[in-house]
Amino acid sequence: ELGTLGFECTLEEVDLEDITKNQINTIKACTSEDPETGNCPALERSTFDMSKCLEGIYKDLNIYRAELNNLNDQKVLATIDEMMKVLRTSSWSTPQLSAGTGLTSFQEKMRLCSILHAFQIRTVTINRMMNYLNSPESSL
């Protein structure tokens, strides 16, 4: 949004950064890690762990929440907080965040633009996974 970053943030202008790649996340927790699945990880009922999947979704949201804190967009942060509240269990920790310090350099704003687009794509994955878990056909 022009008002948030000071410029139009389009997907074509940034290289996406997966800030969750070295941690448990939705994709790792909700799909098979079988190397035979190639580029398209499979959801195997026999090895599916719903608790691990929900934890992966929660941790994704937590990581993005921390990164987007500097955006100072209360609507975005409140939405992520609500999603996390639904998923929260006593065994998952939530770090307490200080108020965002704001963005000062253009480079920081471009990185945030990249993270926003990566988060938008990840929310599609999370939404699809949640729809699958809530569908009667999943029988997990």
- This prediction's pTM: 0.74
Query: Across residues 105-128, what is the average pLDDT?
Result: 86
Q: What is residue 90's predicted lDDT score, i.e. its pLDDT?
A: 47
> What pLDDT band is residue 6 in, cutting at 50, 70 and 90?
low
Predicted confidence (pLDDT) at residue 39 exceeds the cutoff of 60: no
* Residue whose entry in the numeric block shows the structure tokens 């950064």: 17
| Contact criterion met (CB below 8 Å) for 9 and 120 | no
Predicted confidence (pLDDT) at residue 41 exceeds the cutoff of 60: no
Q: What is residue 1's predicted lDDT score, i.e. its pLDDT?
A: 46
Dihedral in degrees, nearest 10, Cα atoms 58, 64, 70, 76 = -70
How deeply is 139 buried, as exposed, middle or buried, from its count of CB atoms within 10 A (0-12, 13-18, 19+)?
Answer: exposed
Q: What is residue 124's predicted lDDT score, i.e. its pLDDT?
A: 92
Question: First-to-last CA distance in the chain?
Answer: 39
Predicted confidence (pLDDT) at residue 57 exceeds the cutoff of 90: yes
Largest CA distance in the chain: 49
Predicted confidence (pLDDT) at residue 38 exceeds the cutoff of 60: no
Tokens of 103: 């963005």
Query: Across residues 83-98, what is the average pLDDT?
Result: 65
Q: What is residue 81's predicted lDDT score, i.e. its pLDDT?
A: 92
Q: Which residue has the higher pLDDT, 10 or 52?
A: 52
Q: Which residue has the higher pLDDT, 13 or 135?
A: 135
Domain boundaries, the chain: 11-134
Cβ-Cβ contacts under 8 Å for 62 (sequence gap 6 or more): 84, 92, 94, 95
Q: What is residue 18's predicted lDDT score, i.e. its pLDDT?
A: 81
Q: Considering only CA atoms, which of 119, 137, 139, 117 is closest in space to residue 127?
A: 119
